[in-house]
Structure 1
Amino acid sequence: MTLKEIMAFVNGEVIACQEGLDHEVSSAFGSDLMSDVLAYVEENTLLITGLINQQVIRTAEMLDLKAILFVRGKVPCDEVVALANEKEIVLLTTKHTLFTVSGILYKEGLKGLQI
């Protein structure tokens, strides 16, 4: 599923790295615990979170993730957006909760990770 499709399904907006919207992800993982993200997430996974600090970008960078979807209408500060642009990580935001976004994307065919 492309990030452009995901954005449409969740009524999302692009915050950073708009040129990466054609990137495809094969799964999604929702968490506000970056330790869980580091333990379980694989490449080509969409990270769904409510955290908007630099640690989220650094975690995505370590795992070579191409996209983060922020929930509950959260938007990171300009410094975090600049870091995401530098690292070519697409940032999206939606007003939906993490639970709702997960359900929408699962219904549309995006699966979670096997743990």
Structure 2
Amino acid sequence: MTIAELQTLLRAEMLCATQEENLNIQVAKASDLMSDVLAYTGPGELLLTGLTNHQVVRTCEIANVRVIIFVRGKKPADETVSLAARCNICLLATKLSMFESCGILFSHGIRGVSRTSETR
């Protein structure tokens, strides 16, 4: 799924674009615990979270997560957006809850980390 498709489905605002035009997202994880983000990683992932501090971006940089979607109408500070731009991580923000966002993505073919690891 492309970033444009994600943005449309979740009625999300683009906070920071990525330089990777052909980014294809297939797997999502939803967490406010950055240790969980680090524990379960794979290629082509996005993160849904309610945390908006710079540690989210740093964690995603380490875990190779290319898209962060902030839920519940939360938005990060300008410094966090600037850090994401330097790390080439796309930031989106939606007013939807984490539960609603996950449900929408799942119903459109995005799978969770544990589910994809079972089918490999």
Establish whether residue 84 from structure 1 lines up as the match of residue 84 from structure 2: yes
Alpha carbon RMSD of aligned pairs, Å? 1.3
How much does 1:19 deviate?
Answer: 4.6
Aligned to 1:6: 6
Give me the whole-angstrom Cα distance separating, in 2, the residues matched to 1:22 and 1:65.
Answer: 15
- Is contact 1:4–1:21 with CA below 8 Å preserved after alignment? no
Aligned pairs, number:
115
The separation in 2 between residues aligned to 1:66 and 1:73, in whole angstroms, is 20
The answer to whether the 8 Å contact 1:20/1:90 transfers is no
Q: Which runs of 5+ in 2 are unaligned?
A: none
Secondary structure at 2:92 match in 1: strand
Give the AA of the match of 1:95.
K
Distance 1:18 1:65 in 2: 12
Please say if 1:61 is aligned against 2:65. Answer: no
1:52-93 deviations in whole A, cap 9, x for unaligned? 001000001001211100000111000000000011100000
Pair 1:74–1:21, CA change in 2 (3 A): farther
**Given the superposition, is the C-alpha separation of residues 90 and 14 from structure 1 closer, same or farther in structure 2, using an over 3 Å criterion?**
same
Percent identity reads 43
Shift of 1:41: 2.2
Alignment match, 1:111? 111
SS at match of 1:109: coil
Q: Please tell me whether the aligned partners of residues 21 and 90 of structure 1 are also in contact (alpha carbons under 8 angstroms).
A: no
Does the residue aligned with 1:65 lie in a helix, a strand or coil? coil
Q: Which residue of 1 aligns with 2:71?
A: 71
Q: Does 1:40 align with 2:40?
A: yes
Q: Aligned partners of 2:110, 2:102: CA distance in 1, in Å?
A: 9
Given residue 80 of structure 1, which amino acid in structure 2 is its aligned partner? T
1:21 Cα deviation from its structure 2 partner:
5.9
Give per-residue Cα distances to partners, 1:6-65, cap 9 Å, x unaligned.
Answer: 110010010012554641111000000001111012121111100000100000100121
Q: Which runs of 5+ in 1 are unaligned?
A: none
